Amino acid sequence: MTQIKSTNCPTRARSGPEIPDQPTETDGWFFGYGSLVNRATHGYGPALPARLGGWRRVWRHTRLRPVAYLTVVPDPGGEIDGLIAAVPGTGWAALDAREGAYARLPAGHQISHALAHAPRIALYAIPEGRHGTPDKACPVLLSYIDVVVQGYLREFGEAGVGRFFATTHGWDAPVLDDRAAPRYPRHRLLSTDERTLVDDHLAALGVRPFRG
């Protein structure tokens, strides 16, 4: 597996929507387990790594979107890494719009973190009965995987990237190689080492992206 040489990856967002107000302890937080782990895709904060129990991460598609994305489904024995970030009261509308295919669910009692207080924390999940198995008509985008893996690398290092792949279900889903013309709207530029890390993990799982 490719080793990432640099350890100086930034952990704060360099771009993303402006958040109009500063959050307070009474505002809510979100738990992200996919692209929201990558702080460069949003401007919410403060943010810190966390862990969710009672759910597992899986690839699914929904009729509301033409491609497949990550969601979580209940699993009593499941545990996944992720990122929590504070959302000021005025910031939820923009976040709900971004996560439009998902329902916002309370999950604070299932999340472990290093905060001194116990904030309200929500996660986003596609409602049961509204998602299906990805296929070539609704594939997983490689540009989306790239964003997610970059986020996990910055938050949890290479070991965390390994856990992301190991704790994500549904890798038999078709993956569309769209790196040359990314279809994911919040796609990010990856270094050569980062792209190789993604490719090595996919190859180890027997995933061979196709070009459409």
Fold adopted by 28-204: Hypothetical upf0131 protein ytfp (3.10.490)
The one-character DSSP state at 173 is S
Residue 110 scores a pLDDT above 90: yes
**Radius of gyration (Cα) for the chain, nearest Å?**
16
| pLDDT of 6 higher than 50 | no
Report d(CA 131, CA 64) in Å as an integer.
9
DSSP 10: -
Report how far residue 156's alpha carbon sits from residue 154's, in angstroms, rounded to the nearest whole number. 6
pLDDT at residue 128, rounded to an integer: 84
Q: What is the pLDDT of residues 154-195, one digit of tens each?
A: 999 999 999 999 999 999 999 999 999 999 999 999 999 999
- Asked if 168 and 202 touch (Cβ cutoff 8 Å), the reply is no
E strand map for the chain: 28-32, 47-60, 69-87, 103-106, 111-112, 121-125, 140-141, 168-169, 175-176
Identify any residues that bridge with 103 across adjacent strands, giving them in sequence order.
125
**pLDDT tens-digit map of 112-160:** 999 999 999 999 999 887 777 888 889 999 999 999 999 999 999 999 9
Residues 6+ apart with CB under 8 A from 117: 25
**What integer is the mean pLDDT of 95-113?**
95
Provide the pLDDT for residue 24. Answer: 54
Distance in angstroms (rounded) separating the CA atoms of residues 49 and 164: 13
Give residue-wise pLDDT tens across range 12-57: 333 343 333 444 555 799 999 999 999 999 999 999 999 999 999 9
Residue 89's pLDDT is what? 85
Across the range 91-103, mean pLDDT stands at: 92
- Which residue type occupies 26? T
For the entire predicted model, the pTM comes to: 0.87
Strand partners, 29: 86, 121
Residues 194, 200: Cα–Cα separation, whole Å? 10
